């Protein structure tokens, strides 16, 4: 019995000793693997050190203290960690490392911008934790170059190789210092940073409950402080592999778009300044965000930024603009919306319900603002909607680069080329004070579209305008209208032009204008033999080719809506006679003047007769048609209109009709 007990005791002692011996062996092996990983950093030219390494076999918990690394890149990236603890560690295969949970305490990252700049950025994270973690067992191969962009790409690729159900950091704090008082320095902080469901290079969601920042600058020697507060930042379906591909220099010729975010959204965002306005945004959403490597060459853009505070030369400015234009061409935003934008200023301020936009290939599909409500010293300003159609931002940057040299002002033809950067504009529901009348001007609609470009010049355009406003008693040109009893004027305009290359014709078509309470008119004017070269941005060439243009048919229609009665009433008051007498006097003047004109142009007699009937009968519609009697050069016609209008009129056959 004693032998049996002694045997059992011996077995227990041997087992316990074997366990601790195995634990010592395992811990020694893990220490060696940890040291080998740090040695890999040192072998690549960086610096790496650590404190105590311990491993508990029973709980499979690994702890490493006092980690400090410095990359070999210039400028270097420095990382410090007080301790990293991984529990439930395992190695599913030789290439992967797993852990039930990982916790890092007091993480600090310090990075600088590329050489030649003084920017310093520091992040401090008191605690960061990961659950259900799996990642590469070894460190990645260092990048081929030491550029900051390559390092970021390496970190993104390594991050995309991780798998975790969640990674959380209750708080993140940081500082940023430009090294330049004019550009300033600042502090920022994040609360409750969370990454969910990381797998196969994708992150289901990244959320931040709150982000704050404080920046201090001295642009004119006097400190200025700006603070910001952003709530509920979220990114959905983040593709880290796509982000790494965009930064890959081997894909410099890849013109494919890679979507990085399915959606980015935020809650309220507030920016305040001690000497400036307070700005608030209720929310922001952007969908389908991606980029294409062929255009998004960040390293090339950074290389064009001059070091220090020296102003860039015109050549450097043009190069920077060109690089920035390519970045706009490389970024895609399917749909973006800013909601509830407001700005408070001592002299007024404004609120904006929404701002919508999209971006692809350097152009916005439509840039629209809606629900504007502002204040001015004269009164409120309201706008239902304002939109720009297809703004070419990249082209605008390139065009601006041509204006960067003050010694060489842009030529008129270059400025004209900016028309091609926009396809149209629309304004709806605009109300604003009119001078100091105390009454508003109202714009129901102004819509302007153009296209069918010949070079940078549009050969097709349409303008629609519906607006009204009060008359100004201080304006001599408006006093006569006020004298007729009008207190406001309404305008309804629809004007379209189109050039057809096959027939070489240019037509002013569907041109209608209505002055509320007065008259409605329409016109159709055509030109023949209009060559393509007329639309040249070279003014000399355009003027030379304009000599070939010939006048076509002209048709004018005027419908009286009260203008005749107002004119008669005003004439009656001026002459102190009755309205009937005033009307007869006006008709007599028309017939007497027409009698002289009829001697040189027989058709004029019919026109005079129709005009007299138009005045005699209120509410009449007058139509005048002019048909050229032969080839009538437009340039010659303009000269005749200035020197001898009757002779100019004699070049056409006149037809008139009146109807109620």
Q: Where in 314-360 does DSSP place strands (E)?
A: 331-344, 350-359
Q: From CA 146, how far away is CA 74, in angstroms rounded? A: 6
| CB-CB contact of 405 with 386 (8 Å) | no
Q: Could you tell me the CA-to-CA distances from 283 to 56, 207, 532 in Å, in that order?
A: 48, 15, 49
User: Using CA of residue 563, residue 568, residue 573, residue 578, what is the dihedral sign?
Assistant: negative
| CB-CB contact of 635 with 607 (8 Å) | no
| CB-CB contact of 216 with 225 (8 Å) | yes
Q: Which residue has the tokens 């008709």?
A: 587
* Residue ranges in the chain modelled with pLDDT below 50: 1-22, 24-25, 115-116
Q: Could you tell me the CA-to-CA distances from 340 to 87, 289, 307 in Å, in that order?
A: 47, 22, 39
Question: Could you tell me the end-to-end alpha-carbon distance of the chain, in angstroms, rounded to an integer?
Answer: 134
Q: Where in 561-644 does DSSP place strands (E)?
A: 621-628
Q: What is the pLDDT of residue 149?
A: 66
pLDDT for 57-76, tens place per residue?
A: 888 898 999 999 888 777 78
Q: From CA 637, how far away is CA 645, in angstroms rounded? A: 9
Q: Take residue 366 and report the two structure tokens written for it.
A: 């439509």
| CB-CB contact of 401 with 349 (8 Å) | no
Q: What is the pLDDT of residue 597?
A: 65
pTM, 2 dp: 0.78
Q: What is the pLDDT of residue 219?
A: 67
Cα Rg for the chain, rounded, in angstroms?
A: 38
> 570 burial class (0-12, 13-18, 19+ CB within 10 angstroms)?
middle
Q: What is the pLDDT of residue 536?
A: 80
Q: Which residues contact 350 (CB under 8 A, 6 or more apart)?
A: 342, 343, 372, 373, 374, 375, 381
Q: Which residue has the tokens 């008129």?
A: 412
Q: Where in 16-119 does DSSP place strands (E)?
A: 47-49, 53-56, 61-70, 78-87, 90-93, 96-112
Q: What is the pLDDT of residue 642?
A: 86
Q: Could you tell me the CA-to-CA distances from 361 to 250, 257, 327, 332, 358 in Å, in that order?
A: 21, 10, 9, 7, 10
């Amino acid at each position: 019995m004693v032998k049996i007990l002694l045997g059992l005791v011996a077995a227990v002692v041997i087992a316990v000793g074997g366990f601790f011996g195995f634990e010592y062996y395992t811990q020694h092996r893990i220490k060696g693997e940890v040291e080998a990983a740090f040695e890999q950093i040192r072998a690549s030219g960086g610096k790496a050190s650590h404190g105590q390494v311990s491993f508990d076999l029973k709980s499979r918990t690994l702890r490493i203290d006092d980690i400090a690394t410095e990359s070999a890149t210039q400028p270097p990236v420095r990382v410090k960690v007080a301790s990293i603890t991984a529990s439930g560690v395992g190695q599913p295969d030789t290439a992967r490392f797993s852990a039930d949970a990982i916790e890092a305490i007091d993480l600090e990252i310090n990075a600088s911008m590329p050489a030649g700049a003084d920017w310093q950025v520091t992040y401090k994270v008191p605690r960061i934790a990961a659950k259900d973690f799996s990642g590469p067992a070894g460190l990645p191969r260092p990048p081929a170059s030491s550029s900051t962009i390559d390092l970021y790409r390496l970190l993104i690729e390594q991050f995309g190789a991780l798998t975790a159900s969640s990674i959380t950091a209750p708080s993140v704090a940081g500082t940023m210092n430009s090294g330049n008082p004019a550009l300033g320095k600042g502090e920022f902080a994040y609360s409750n940073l969370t990454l969910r469901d990381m797998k196969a290079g994708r992150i289901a969601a990244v959320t931040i409950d709150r982000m704050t920042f404080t920046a201090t600058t001295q642009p004119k020697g006097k400190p200025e402080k700006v603070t910001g507060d952003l709530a509920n930042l979220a990114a959905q379906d983040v593709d880290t592999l796509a982000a790494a591909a965009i930064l890959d220099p081997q894909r410099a010729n890849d013109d494919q778009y890679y979507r990085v975010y399915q959606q980015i959204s935020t809650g309220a965002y507030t920016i305040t300044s001690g000497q400036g306005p307070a700005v608030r945004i209720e929310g922001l959403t952007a969908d389908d965000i991606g980029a294409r490597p062929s255009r998004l060459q960040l390293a090339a853009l950074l290389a064009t930024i001059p070091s220090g505070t020296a102003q860039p030369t015109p050549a450097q400015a043009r190069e920077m603009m060109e690089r920035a234009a390519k970045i706009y061409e490389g970024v895609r935003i399917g749909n973006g919306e800013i909601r509830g934008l407001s700005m408070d200023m001592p002299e007024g301020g404004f609120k904006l319900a929404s701002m919508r936009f999209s971006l692809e290939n350097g152009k916005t599909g439509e840039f629209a603002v809606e629900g504007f409500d502002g204040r001015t010293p004269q009164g409120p300003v309201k706008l239902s909607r304002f939109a720009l159609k297809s703004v070419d931002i990249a082209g605008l940057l390139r065009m601006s680069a041509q204006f960067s040299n003050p010694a060489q002002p842009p030529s008129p033809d270059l400025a004209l080329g900016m028309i091609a950067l926009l396809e149209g504009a629309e304004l709806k529901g605009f109300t604003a004070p009119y001078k100091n009348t105390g009454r508003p001007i109202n714009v129901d609609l102004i819509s302007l579209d153009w296209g069918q470009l010949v070079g940078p010049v549009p050969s097709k355009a349409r303008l629609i305008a519906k607006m009204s406003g009060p008359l100004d008693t201080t304006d001599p040109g408006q006093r006569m209208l006020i004298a007729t009893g009008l207190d406001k004027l309404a305008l309804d305009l629809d004007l379209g032009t189109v050039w057809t290359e096959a027939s070489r014709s240019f037509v002013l078509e569907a041109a209608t204008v209505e002055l509320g309470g007065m008259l409605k008119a329409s016109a159709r004017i055509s030109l023949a033999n209009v060559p393509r070269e007329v639309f040249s941005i070279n003014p000399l060439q355009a003027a030379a080719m304009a000599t070939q243009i010939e006048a076509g048919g002209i048709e004018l229609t005027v419908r009286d809506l009260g203008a005749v009665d107002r004119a008669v009433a005003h004439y009656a008051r001026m002459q102190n006679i009755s309205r009937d007498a005033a009307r007869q006097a006006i008709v007599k003047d028309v017939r007497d003047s027409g009698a002289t004109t009829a001697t040189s142009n027989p058709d004029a007699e019919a026109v005079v007769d129709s005009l007299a009937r138009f005045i005699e009968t209120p509410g009449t519609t007058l139509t005048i048609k002019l048909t050229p009697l032969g080839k009538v050069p437009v340039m010659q016609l303009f000269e005749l209109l200035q020197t001898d209008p009757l002779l100019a009129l004699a070049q056409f056959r006149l037809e008139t009709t009146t109807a109620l």
